[in-house]
Chains A and B, each alone.
Chain A
């Protein structure tokens, strides 16, 4: 049995922003009944006992949890490396100091674009200036700063300006991650999927920036898997290295797994260990035994694990099929059709559907 390294604690799906690329589930109201402080603390303790070493506090916007400082203190006290994944809305200096004193190790701030008009249009509310101030607070308090930018059709042409902004913020690390099509991003896929030409342009900019900033700022660039030949490895394998707990206590092998037609596993009913070791949601696609061809006989099966189960389910209705992103998948046309539409010469004017913000 593998031992998990990381816990993604999605503390709440409430969020002051309304990003149309959000991968939170569409049925946000189903998660309003959030775990209590004591329940989360129990989850952290059980996670540490399972071998978890890293705790990502995420959401939604985790700063909307009033007990965030207590939760950080518990996770840090268990020896876990604690990482706050935040829009930074609500990260005042005093709040930040409280988190630092509780032992928070690292802060990752999301930024939507390099200038207010685009950024605020993507985020659904005017948030840009507040984010910049919060990022400065992160640096002032001596934390390493990672800036995360989700790239898509609407902002990828400005990647040079985005990198310049991140440089101004004196970030240690920037993640330029193309959208993953789950939740709200799935609904908005046509408006978010970039064209081949856009991607080539961005790649060139990133290559030059990497050379220029070597040793000063690390640039992680995650390309959209729709344009790749092979799928992305599923988080080091299904239920192999990571687990997620959703705001309502549902335990998941990955944050997109809510959609799969398997019985729910909740930390309200069972220990994390029982879920990790025995629940069908976790055991169904662990290892390679579940695979069919072409994955079963493919020599990349231990490299990419057949790709993403959630994407396979989303695109084909069957989570045990090969990820259609793979060019060997019999369903690959589902991906190439979407790519073709994104590159149609007529150009499209798709409208972004914001996820509703819930505060």
Chain B
């Protein structure tokens, strides 16, 4: 996962809050992914402008702990599932 890539949701998935499960969910044609709060925070910052490193830095400030590996691993999983794409710098 290159730190200077800019992640964003692929165009066929959508994130929203689900009141029933009290979680954010990622909706796609064949899948529903129920996100934990950290995952929802990460994706909330993935707007195609921020880089992976910038996302991690912002979260680090918010949570007051280092999250680099967590962010990279999470985005990696979603890239594999074609929910996130990374624009190279």
Q: A6-B32, A108-B29 are in contact. List 7 more A-B contacts (CB 8 A).
A: A3-B21, A5-B32, A53-B18, A81-B14, A83-B29, A172-B12, A173-B29
Task: Name the one of A3, A54, A106, A218 contacting B20, with C-beta atoms under 8 angstroms.
Answer: A3
Whether, in the assembled complex, B27 has its beta carbon less than 8 Å from a beta carbon of chain A, the answer is yes
List which B18-62 residues lie within 8 A (CB) of chain A.
Answer: 18, 20-21, 25, 27-30, 32
Task: Name the one of A3, A79, A106 contacting B12, with C-beta atoms under 8 angstroms.
Answer: A106
| Residues A144 and B20 in contact, CB atoms below 8 Å apart | no
| Residues B27 and A54 in contact, CB atoms below 8 Å apart | yes
Whether, in the assembled complex, B65 has its beta carbon less than 8 Å from a beta carbon of chain A, the answer is no
Complex CA distance for A146 and B12, rounded to whole angstroms = 11
| Residues A79 and B16 in contact, CB atoms below 8 Å apart | yes
Complex CA distance for A79 and B32, rounded to whole angstroms = 13
Complex CA distance for A5 and B20, rounded to whole angstroms = 11
Whether, in the assembled complex, A51 has its beta carbon less than 8 Å from a beta carbon of chain B, the answer is yes
Give every chain B residue within 8 A of A6 (Cβ-Cβ). 32
Complex CA distance for A3 and B34, rounded to whole angstroms = 12
| Residues B18 and A144 in contact, CB atoms below 8 Å apart | no
Task: Name the one of B14, B18, B25, B82 contacting A218, with C-beta atoms under 8 angstroms.
Answer: B82
Give every chain A residue within 8 A of B18 (Cβ-Cβ). 51, 53
Give the A-B contact count at a CB cut-off of 8 A: 37
Give every chain B residue within 8 A of A81 (Cβ-Cβ). 14, 27-29, 32
Nearest CB in chain A to that of B13: its residue: A81
Task: Name the one of B14, B32, B82 contacting A105, with C-beta atoms under 8 angstroms.
Answer: B14
11 contacts between A and B (CB under 8 A): A6-B32, A51-B18, A51-B20, A53-B27, A54-B32, A81-B27, A83-B29, A105-B29, A108-B29, A144-B11, A144-B29
**Per-position contact with B for A105-148: 1 when CB-CB < 8 Å, else 0?**
11010000000000000000000000000000000001010100
List which A170-226 residues lie within 8 A (CB) of chain B.
Answer: 172-173, 218
How many chain B residues have a CB neighbour from A under 8 Å? 14
| Residues A53 and B32 in contact, CB atoms below 8 Å apart | yes
Give every chain B residue within 8 A of A53 (Cβ-Cβ). 18, 25, 27, 32
Nearest CB in chain B to that of A215: its residue: B82
How many chain A residues have a CB neighbour from B under 8 Å? 19
Complex CA distance for A149 and B25, rounded to whole angstroms = 29
List which A45-89 residues lie within 8 A (CB) of chain B.
Answer: 50-51, 53-54, 79, 81, 83
Give every chain A residue within 8 A of B20 (Cβ-Cβ). 3, 50-51
Complex CA distance for A218 and B18, rounded to whole angstroms = 28
Give every chain A residue within 8 A of B16 (Cβ-Cβ). 79
Give every chain B residue within 8 A of A108 (Cβ-Cβ). 29
Closest 3 CB pairs of A and B: A51-B20, A144-B12, A81-B27
**Per-position contact with B for A78-103: 1 when CB-CB < 8 Å, else 0?**
01010100000000000000000000
Complex CA distance for A213 and B57, rounded to whole angstroms = 35
Complex CA distance for A50 and B19, rounded to whole angstroms = 10
Interchain nearest-CB distance for A172 vs B (Å) = 7
Complex CA distance for A3 and B32, rounded to whole angstroms = 13
Interchain nearest-CB distance for B77 vs A (Å) = 15
Interchain nearest-CB distance for B87 vs A (Å) = 14
Give every chain A residue within 8 A of B25 (Cβ-Cβ). 53
Nearest CB in chain B to that of A107: its residue: B29
Interchain nearest-CB distance for A275 vs B (Å) = 17
Give every chain B residue within 8 A of A83 (Cβ-Cβ). 29
Interchain nearest-CB distance for A332 vs B (Å) = 30
Interchain nearest-CB distance for A151 vs B (Å) = 18
Give every chain B residue within 8 A of A105 (Cβ-Cβ). 12, 14, 27, 29
Give every chain B residue within 8 A of A3 (Cβ-Cβ). 20-21
Nearest CB in chain A to that of B16: its residue: A79
Task: Name the one of B11, B14, B27, B29 contacting A146, with C-beta atoms under 8 angstroms.
Answer: B29
Give every chain B residue within 8 A of A106 (Cβ-Cβ). 12, 29
Give every chain B residue within 8 A of A173 (Cβ-Cβ). 29
| Residues A51 and B29 in contact, CB atoms below 8 Å apart | no
| Residues B21 and A51 in contact, CB atoms below 8 Å apart | yes
Interchain nearest-CB distance for B24 vs A (Å) = 11
